[in-house]
Amino acid sequence: SSENRECRLARLGSQSRFIAAQRQVYVPLGLVNDSVPTNGTMFAFHLSRVAVRLFGSLVQLVNQYQDEDFTDHSRRTLDELLDCLARDWRALPSSFDAEFKDVVPDADQARYAILTQTAALRLAFVAFQELLHVERIWRVSFRLRPLRDTTSEQLFFLYYALDNCEHSDAPFKAHEYLAQRRLPAELRVNFPLRHMPEFSEAFGCGQGAALRLPQNAVCSVFNLSVPSLH
């Protein structure tokens, strides 16, 4: 059946997802396997792929049950955050690909998908900084030999962008969004980065750059204390 075929394909995939009907977070073999080092410095860089996808599913779990466990204050705070993200979505500069408006026409409807991706990247970056022991503990600047001018923070964001590279058309993007609330690849990368001041700092984005928001316009997804690498 088509349902069984979808399950088989899901096992071969690499996209973690939350299954509401079963109250389960599904982690496929393709996401965490023998290709991911279990220790050492390079494991931290795999978090730009593994952790973003896993945290994305966990954020969906929180969204699903917020009405059961959230206090009134927590719900108001979440609504304010969702409104902040939706406002920035509507204010995206013209330099962004306009095609996404046909795929995700309603910012209010997409608020949770936007939050999921933005929160997942934030959490993954914090985990990356905590686990990059060579810099956090030993204060040694980690560089790849062929990319001596690229910092570890830049590498993390480059790996994140590469993980979202895909060759897709508008119908595929629309199907992915309608079926799984998965944002188009361009927006999975570019939108969360607007709310990651660490990105604009790492790449030296100047004032007015599309991926650098004024400080008062950045939506604070998590009030986490990010350990310094320097």
Number of structural domains the chain divides into: 1
Cα 228 to the center of its chain, rounded Å:
21
Determine the Cα–Cα distance for residues 131 and 128; give it in Å rounded to an integer: 5
Residue 222 in any domain: the answer is no
What pLDDT does residue 214 have? 92
What pLDDT does residue 150 have? 86
Residue 229 in any domain: the answer is no
Check the CA dihedral 59-33-153-97 and report its sign.
negative
What pLDDT does residue 229 have? 44
Determine the Cα–Cα distance for residues 62 and 79; give it in Å rounded to an integer: 14
pLDDT, average across residues 51-66: 79
What pLDDT does residue 1 have? 46
Residue 16 in any domain: the answer is yes
Residue 224 in any domain: the answer is no
Judged by average pLDDT, the poorest of 98-107, 183-192, 201-210 is: 98-107
Residue 227 in any domain: the answer is no
Residue ranges in 65-203 assigned as alpha helix (H): 66-69, 72-90, 100-103, 111-131, 133-136, 152-163, 170-180, 185-194, 197-203
pLDDT, average across residues 55-61: 83
Band of residue 230 on the pLDDT scale cut at 50, 70, 90? very low
What pLDDT does residue 201 have? 94
Determine the Cα–Cα distance for residues 44 and 50; give it in Å rounded to an integer: 10
**Tokens standing for residue 9:** 């394909």
| Per-residue pLDDT tens over the stretch 190-225 | 999 999 999 999 999 999 898 999 989 999 887 655
**44 membership: H or E segment, kind and range:** helix 41-46
What pLDDT does residue 80 have? 92
Instruction: Provide the residue range defining the domain that includes 191.
Output: 2-217
CATH number of the structural domain spanning residue 166: 3.40.390.10
Residue 188 pLDDT exceeds 70:
yes
Residue 162 in any domain: the answer is yes
| Per-residue pLDDT tens over the stretch 106-152 | 888 888 899 999 999 999 999 998 888 766 655 667 777 788 888 88
Three-state SS at 95: coil
Cβ pair 142, 230 in contact under 8 A? no
Residue 109 in any domain: the answer is yes
What pLDDT does residue 200 have? 95
Determine the Cα–Cα distance for residues 14 and 164; give it in Å rounded to an integer: 12
Residue 92 in any domain: the answer is yes
Residue 60 pLDDT exceeds 90:
no
